[in-house]
Structures are given as structure tokens and as C-alpha cells.
Amino acid sequence: MVSIPSASQFDTAQSRVGLATAVVLPCYNEAATIAQVIASFADALPGAVIYVFDNNSSDDTARVAEGAGAIVIREERQGKGHVVRRMFAEVDADIYVMADGDGTYAAHDAPMLVKALVERRLDMVVGTRRGVRQDAGRSGHAIGNRLFNGVFQWMFGDDFSDIFSGYRVFSRRFAKTFPAVSRGFEIETEMSVHASQLMLPVAEIETDYGVRPEGSVSKLRTFRDGFRILSVFFLLLKETRPAFFFGGLAALLTLASLAFGLPVVAEYLETGLVPRFPTAILAAALMIIASMSAMCGLILDSVSRSRVELKRMFLLTQRGLPTP
């Protein structure tokens, strides 16, 4: 059982190690909840600077956030990925606490996440959502969470069990070295892949996860965003594990080539004739493409390894957490 430090304990620890903490809240039409969210994080993390990144809200989100004491920055390019990229570029801190502005993430869990990051000297702590696989707001979302988390673990390893959680705490060196190329809700997946690829020290801690209050509407579109996230899975697999990606493609092409070609070969051995000449050409072409795919995978795997080495070298140039 992980103990939750009080706000005063957090403030004392923060002062002792001299850490600048920022709470960063991406928001799109969250006027109904943002004031309470800001107040909750201000109470849970005294001394932290709270930023609200307004992503073209059509309601009074920005005005309400300013009135509640947050620093409001507007990001005009629509999509959570654009907001996160702007967050990490604009805000300079030692610790970044990211949550949503809809009030579903419990601010009282934030000191526990920050404490884990500091004491265990981690680069990212993910607040996994308690019960999200049973009820993520809609039954379709719960099924999607189980499916996508399973696919992620098969593709990239089992470092994470809730890749879509938006409740995360980052070190400065993670924030300043994360490339952030995604545009929308798939940004959390990219964060998880980045941490897994560089083998960064990370942890998951279970946190409370509430339902949206009346008047707050989910921005997630089940099928559109689901297909987008799945496409990002394969894109990141191609970029980070090209030998696996192109090797799998080569294996499928090889099987197809053998399925078409073996009957032709058997017929030739029996009769000395090749009556199905187009089929023979197709089988040979598939085998050539399979060989090319396997070779591309081997070459790109070397390139990918070099990119990982460069990322790690750049990571080491960034300031880490000071020793308590």
C-alpha cells in the first residue's frame, strides 16, 4: 500500500530539494469543471504553478481559468498532441504534473505521484485509472482500453498497463527530450513508447478515476479515434522496431509466395511443365518482395538503434532531479 503524503508534507519536501513544480492542464470546453480542478490542484500541491492550455474552447474556459488563478496559454492547433508539445516547450520546471481539466482525475493523488517520482528518481509516473477497464465512461471505451493495452504490450512490452491515462508526472529531462509528433489523443501512447524505447525509469501507481460531472462532455470519438490510435501503433512500431515490423511483413509475403508457388513446383516435378505461368510469376514476385522487406527491416533496425543512442545521449545532457 502506497501512502499518500499530505499537502504540507509535499510542500516541505519540495522546498528541501528546491524543485519547481508545474501543473499543466490541457483543456477544450471545460468551463464547467476547470475552476474546481485548479482549486483542487492548488490545495494538493501548494507552491506549484498551474497552467491551463486552452485548445480553441468555444465556451468560457479561458476566462474561468484566469479567474481561478491559473496562467492561461492558448494553443490554436486543434488536438491534444499539439497542446502537449506546446506545454513542454513553454513551461520550464523540474516536475510536470499533467492531468485533464474535466475533473475525472483526483488532485489529492498528485502528491503521491510526485513523491514517487522524486524519491525513486524516475522520469515518468503514470496514474493508472482504478476500474477503467470495467467502466471507462462507455462500455465501448472499456473494451477498447483492454484491447489496445493488450496490443501495446504485444508490440512494445509490458511496462504499462494503462497507456491512455492522461494523469502523468514527468521529470524535466523527459519533458525536454520527448519529440511529441502526435496530434491528438494518441499522444499518451507516444509517451509510453518513448519511455519503453529508451528504457527510462518509470512507474505506475493506481489512482482514483471519477466520472464527468453534468455539463462536461467527452471529446473522445470511439471509432474515429480508435482507428487513429491503431494506425499510430503501427507507425510507432515501424519507427521503433523496424526489424519486427518488416520481418513480420516478410513472413506473410513468404507464406503467400509458398502457397501460390508450391503447387506449381509440384506440378513441374510431376509433368515437367509449367501450365500456370502467371501463378509462377506471382509467387516469384512475392518472394522477391519478401526478401526486400526483410533486408529493409535489417537496415532500418540499425538506423533505429542509432536514433535511440542519440536520444539517450541528448537525454543525458538535460538536468535531472537534484539529490534530496
pLDDT-derived band of residue 167, with 50, 70 and 90 as boundaries?
very high
pLDDT at 212: 59
pLDDT (tens digit per residue) in 309-321: 999 999 988 887 8
pLDDT at 324: 60
234 C-beta neighbours (distance < 10 Å), count: 12
* Helix segments in the chain, DSSP class H: 7-17, 34-44, 61-67, 80-90, 110-119, 139-156, 172-177, 187-197, 222-240, 242-271, 277-316
pLDDT at 219: 59
Distance CA 174, CA 171 (A): 5
Instruction: Provide the pairing of β-strand 168-171 with 95-98.
Output: antiparallel
pLDDT at 16: 40
pLDDT (tens digit per residue) in 106-139: 999 999 999 999 999 999 999 998 866 554 455 5
pLDDT (tens digit per residue) in 30-72: 998 999 999 999 999 999 999 999 999 999 999 999 999 999 9
| pLDDT higher at 88 or 145 | 88
Closest C-alpha to 178, from 321, 311, 7, 15: 311
pLDDT at 304: 92
pLDDT (tens digit per residue) in 18-28: 789 999 999 99
User: Which range among 14-28, 136-150, 196-210, 232-246 shows the weakest confidence by mean pLDDT?
Assistant: 136-150
Q: What pTM was estimated for this model as a whole? A: 0.81
pLDDT at 193: 92
Closest C-alpha to 245, from 294, 198, 308: 294
DSSP letter assigned to residue 134: T
With 0-12 CB in 10 A as exposed, 13-18 as middle and 19+ as buried, what is 217?
A: exposed
Between the alpha carbon of residue 37 and those of residues 64, 79, 106, 251, the distances in Å are: 11, 21, 9, 51
pLDDT (tens digit per residue) in 246-267: 999 999 999 999 999 999 999 9
Distance CA 157, CA 241 (A): 12
